[in-house]
Amino acid sequence: MTTPPPPREPGPPPAGEAELSATDQAESLLRTIPIGFAGSVLPAMLLAWELRERAPGALLATWFGAILVAHGLRLGVWYAARDELHAGRDGARWLRWLRLSVFALGLVWAMLPLLPARASAFDELLVAAVIAAVCGAGAAQQSSDATSSLLFMLPPALSSTMRLFLSGDATLQPIGALALLYYGYLALAGQRTESSFVGLSRLRARAAHQSLHDALTGLPNRLALNLRLHDALARARRAGTQVAVGYIDLDGFKEVNDRHGHAAGDTLLRELAARWSAQQRASELIARLGGDEFVVVIEELDPAQAAAQLGAVFSRIHEAGTAPVALAGGASAQVGMTLGVARYPLDATEPDRLLRVADASMYQLKQHKATRDNWWQFGISDAADAPERELPPYGADAAAVLVEHAAWTARINADYAQTLAHERRGDAGAGVEAAQATRHDALDDEQLEQLRLLVAPDTTREALQQGARQLGTLHCLAGVSGSSLARASVTYRTMLADALGGARLSASRRWQLLRIIDARAHDALQAEFAAAEDVTQAYMQTLSRPRPDAGTRWSDASQREIDFIAALPGIVAVALIRPDRAGELVVERSAAHDGEAQLSALFARGRLPSLDPQTRNGHSATADAWRTLQTQRVGDWAHDAQVATWRDAGVALHVRAEVAVPFGGRDARAIGVLTLFGEQHGQFATSWMRQWAVGLQRRFEAIWTQCHAPPGAAVLSQEQARALHGQLFGGGLEMHGQPIVALRGRRTVGIEALARLRMPDGQLLEPAAFLPSLGEVELDRLFRLGLEQALAALSAADVDLSINLPASTLLGSDCTELIADALRRHGVAPRRLTLELMEAQAFDSQAHGAAVERLRALGVQLAMDDLGTGYSSIERLADLHFDSIKIDQALIARLYDAPLQTVTLTGTLVQLGAELGQSVVVEGVADPAMIEVAAVFGADQVQGYAICPPLPLPAMRDWVESHRDVADADGAGGPLRTYAGALAYHWRYVHMNSGHHPQTAETCALHAFLLAHGLADSEPAAWHAAVHRADGDTDGASRRLLAWLAGEVSASRDAPRDTRT
């Protein structure tokens, strides 16, 4: 009995890692030679020119010539080595040549410090600096090889530093010491860089090896076989030679596994691989396909002697493959072999066809193992055993094959599902999180169903792709990457091939079954990829689609965003949660896939998140997100303690994951939390979902900046908003009015109609309580109702009517018609109606401009409301020809907080209106001082609590009849009465009259004001007098007077604030 040799390691590891690293290093060094030539010769030339007066010319010429010779040597190496290194040959040899060439260059540079005969300290420093720069550049270029870097740097570094040390100069010697430290650092950095380079090179080599080699045996794998076979056939076509492809199957291998175990089978395969690799020649390749199946490719066969050549090769392979193999425990095993051979070009001319013929030949020979004369054969001897035609993957023929082998495919699917589940859990073991384990279970169930569909005889392409798209969506939401899906597909194909390799099937039937399942698996994988791409594109579209136009109401903008998000794959529901005035979190907006009834149950009474961390609901994801301004996630709704309050309601909605995305304003304070509920475990924890959540946060912050509700607007829950809307449009709307009074003539010229909401308990709500919750549709409805009420109440009064026109109504196709109809019904002339447009609304787009022109053609008056809050174009303001502009009350309201700024802005806007020929109304005047400021600047009209608070329209009509002359009593006209008026007066003449008052100090109204306040001999009086003089520090006196008046205005705050909205 022959004693089996001891088992050896499988084929070579990543072949010649050191040689590959040397090749990579040499290629890296080679690439630096052309640029190094320019980077070295040019400074050498300039330096030689600089030293021409201090060094002998002959020496300089010799040195420069040596530089050129050294670079010539390096260019010669570059020319000779580039093709061989590109082909991966002789890396170590060319690395040695490159090191030698760079050492020669270093020696030439080392001559430089010896050249200057009469060197000054400057010359010494110049040479040392050039050497240091050249060494630094050289070290960087040679960074892939520390030896090359050191060989180049060492000669000039030693020469330069020795010159500095031997100079005897107390300044140069310390510089020499520093230079030594510098060169030492370069050497150390070079070593570290080389280590990283070599490490990466070897990792690359190992990765390339693993992608082309079988993990168990180290032999080339199917991919390497395909590459080699294509190249081999191309070479054979050019050379006129033959190529043989042999399909090897081990006889008795299953018995080895059954008797000694799979570990023994693996040992046998590794030993056979090692033996074959040891005797393999350059023209041969042996690859493992899986299981106990191998393929041998033999090139360079002479057509006249091919049979003899192949006989010798096969004898060598057979002898190595059938020799006994030592196993653990002193046992041994021995297998036989069956080989089917296909020849190019005799049997086939394409790689796939050659493999099929060889497979069929091997199977045919294996069927006659007991009676065969030889262990291998050429081609197929019986036409009946030839490979059958390729079957379409769907339909009756494919169904018949799958029905026949249903037991095999079911077993393969079960094994694959088990393998996939194990891989998904990875190394997490018993410590795997509940969310991850639950997610894996869900994925496993879906995967099993898809595998069943894959091999079901009656499956259609449409049904398979539909199931694959569902699975692809699930995989995408669960964070399974495309590369993972591709690897899983390869794993399934390998397991299928391995299992079928051990089945007692004809080669043709095995091939047909593989092709059917392969084609179906390809269709399914492509559908999964397409579904995953659709999911990610849908999510990313939420971030890339245009943001709402500036001026869009927050209620509309936020609801549209939420509706879009709620329609995304995997999203169950979305809620926008903000605190109300009481500090309690409420659902301001929401949307759900299946309607909001179930979502309402999720946030029913007692279930809202709380901002108080001490309460039961104080540590929800939403509350934590608000407090921390950081996104919070719940990966497993079924087990996370945070969701105990909401778990049952969430389960009814099929919620399995949650993410709370906070968004803040410019002051870095929280504005609200966008809470999303997902239908997949761990859905929001994947890397791409985390990035998407960041983008969502930024988008909502940007939308809030553009569209947020007015300051002080109440945050209402959805239930509160619905109740207010029902009351508003169910008879609760009550229009009030506030007079607009002319400063010249002291009479009431108009009434602005203002909306109020009367609640069932009699409470009257200001607009801030309900307007922010209205969308464009509700605002349009409010305008129509309000216009009807106002026209009905004031049609008989001798006073004009102003009313705000929402942007949505302005852009409506029937806007002009509905206003005209209302005016006709109530017998009101169009000129008596003034429509107030917000500044941003009037300038938003060309469409707004066209709508404004249509209203002007109707004959109504147009006013720009709240001027000063937007970014109007003066040119557009003039083009649209407004009849009047209304300065936003927020400006005059800051009179006592920022007097000088308020006066400046108010004066500028009044002057702007006057220059454009438009009537100017100052809104929000709350006391005589504000009226006086408006009068001093020449405003036409005022409106505010200083005149009259808003009153119900019938009462407003009576007030107008009894208050025909009101402005003078409130302080307009006559001498200056208030510090605010005095400040406005002085600012006006300083800024609108080239810095000078037009009259003398004694006749100036400000002089009279100072006298009336007992300040005739005061410092402010002296400043005032200096302002009127042509000499002296006029500007300084004016600034001091303005500052003093502003201070007095701030100190005189005692008037109530106007709260009209």
My answer on whether 368 and 446 are in the same domain is no
My answer on whether 157 and 273 are in the same domain is no
My answer on whether 360 and 404 are in the same domain is no
My answer on whether 30 and 47 are in the same domain is yes
Q: Is 189 domain-assigned?
A: yes
Reduced 3-state DSSP string for 252-315: CHHHHHHHHCHHHHHHHHHHHHHHHHHHCCCCEEEEEEECCEEEEEEEEECCCCHHHHHHHHHH
Q: Is 1 domain-assigned?
A: no
Residue the block writes with tokens 């180290």: 218
Tokens describing residue 13:
């590891």
My answer on whether 161 and 196 are in the same domain is yes
Contacts of 1044 (CB under 8 A, 6+ apart): 1019, 1020, 1023
Low-confidence stretches of the chain (pLDDT beneath 70) = 1-20, 86-88, 117-119, 370, 381-390, 420-444, 498, 500-508, 551, 594-599, 605-606, 667, 708-714, 839-847, 868-880, 964-973, 993-998, 1054-1061
- Where b means 16+ CB within 10 Å and e means fewer, 573-588 reads bbbbbbbeeeeebbbb
Single-letter code of the amino acid located at 456: A
Q: Is 974 domain-assigned?
A: no
My answer on whether 205 and 223 are in the same domain is no
* Contact assessment for residue 943 and residue 739, using Cβ atoms and an 8 Å cutoff: yes
Single-letter code of the amino acid located at 240: G
Output the CA torsion sign for 432, 435, 436, 440: positive
Domain residue limits at 477: 396-541
**Measured CA distances, 897 to 894, 903, 905 (Å):** 5, 11, 14
Output the CA torsion sign for 677, 678, 684, 690: negative
My answer on whether 798 and 832 are in the same domain is yes
Q: Alpha helices of 645-768 — where are they, by DSSP H?
A: 647-652, 687-707, 718-727
* Single residue among 500, 516, 541 that ends a domain in this structure: 541
Taking alpha carbons only, the member of 1021, 975, 985, 1020 closest to residue 903 is 985
Strands 861-867 and 833-838: parallel
- Strand order across the 657-664 sheet: 585-592, 571-579, 670-678, 657-664, 632-634
Q: Is 12 domain-assigned?
A: no
* Contact assessment for residue 671 and residue 706, using Cβ atoms and an 8 Å cutoff: no
pLDDT (0 to 100) of residue 966:
61
Collapsed DSSP state (helix, strand, coil) of residue 569: coil
Number of Cα atoms under 13 Å in the Cβ half of residue 716: 20
Tokens describing residue 881:
């020809």
My answer on whether 746 and 805 are in the same domain is yes
Q: Is 659 domain-assigned?
A: yes
Output the CA torsion sign for 339, 345, 348, 350: positive
Q: Alpha helices of 213-261 — where are they, by DSSP H?
A: 222-239, 253-260
Collapsed DSSP state (helix, strand, coil) of residue 62: helix
- Total-model pTM: 0.51
Q: CATH number, domain at 743? A: 3.20.20.450
* Single residue among 383, 404, 436 that ends a domain in this structure: 383
My answer on whether 517 and 643 are in the same domain is no
Reduced 3-state DSSP string for 840-900: HHHCCCHHHHHHHHHHHHHCCEEEEEEECCCCCCHHHHHHCCCCEEEECHHHHCCCCCCHH
Q: CATH number, domain at 516? A: 1.10.490.10
What is the rounded CA–CA span in Å between residue 28 and residue 967? 89
pLDDT (0 to 100) of residue 435:
45
Reduced 3-state DSSP string for 638-658: CCCHHHCCCHHHHHHCCCCEE
My answer on whether 685 and 770 are in the same domain is no
**Measured CA distances, 1048 to 67, 895, 907, 982, 986 (Å):** 83, 11, 19, 10, 14
Residue the block writes with tokens 């998000």: 565
Residue 925 burial (CB < 10 Å; 0-12/13-18/19+)?
Answer: buried
Q: CATH number, domain at 307? A: 3.30.70.270
Q: Is 388 domain-assigned?
A: no
Q: Show the CA angle centred on residue 506, arms to residues 503 and 512, nearest 5°.
A: 95
Of the chain, the end-to-end C-alpha distance in Å amounts to 108
Strands 747-758 and 800-804: parallel
Query: For the chain, how many structural domains are there in total?
Result: 6
**Measured CA distances, 263 to 216, 328, 416, 604 (Å):** 11, 9, 20, 61
pLDDT (0 to 100) of residue 141:
80
Separation of CA 449 from chain center: 34
Residue the block writes with tokens 């010799």: 62
Q: Is 247 domain-assigned?
A: yes
Strands 293-301 and 284-290: antiparallel
- Estimate the crossing angle of helix 899-915 against helix 979-992, to 10 degrees: 50
**Greatest CA span in the chain, whole angstroms?**
138
Tokens describing residue 180:
């030594």
* Contact assessment for residue 379 and residue 357, using Cβ atoms and an 8 Å cutoff: yes
pLDDT (0 to 100) of residue 771:
84
For the chain, count helices (H), then strands (E).
37, 22
What is the rounded CA–CA span in Å between residue 535 and residue 927? 60
Is the peptide bond preceding residue 345 cis, with omega within 30 degrees of 0?
A: yes
pLDDT (0 to 100) of residue 88:
66
Output the CA torsion sign for 937, 943, 949, 955: positive
Other CB atoms within a 10 A radius of the CB of residue 903 amount to: 29
Region of 741 please: left (phi>0), alpha (psi -120 to 50) or beta. Answer: beta
What is the rounded CA–CA span in Å between residue 279 and residue 276? 5
Tokens describing residue 642:
């945070």
Q: Is 371 domain-assigned?
A: yes
What is the rounded CA–CA span in Å between residue 244 and residue 231? 13
Taking alpha carbons only, the member of 213, 149, 202, 196 closest to residue 18 is 202
What is the rounded CA–CA span in Å between residue 575 and residue 591? 7
Taking alpha carbons only, the member of 455, 326, 347 closest to residue 394 is 455
Q: At 277, phi and psi to the nearest 5?
A: -65, -35
Cross-strand pairs, 590: 575
Chain length of the chain: 1061
**Measured CA distances, 247 to 272, 340, 391, 493, 883 (Å):** 15, 5, 23, 19, 94
My answer on whether 908 and 780 are in the same domain is yes
Q: CATH number, domain at 666? A: 3.30.450.40
* Single residue among 190, 210, 230 that ends a domain in this structure: 210
My answer on whether 37 and 67 are in the same domain is yes
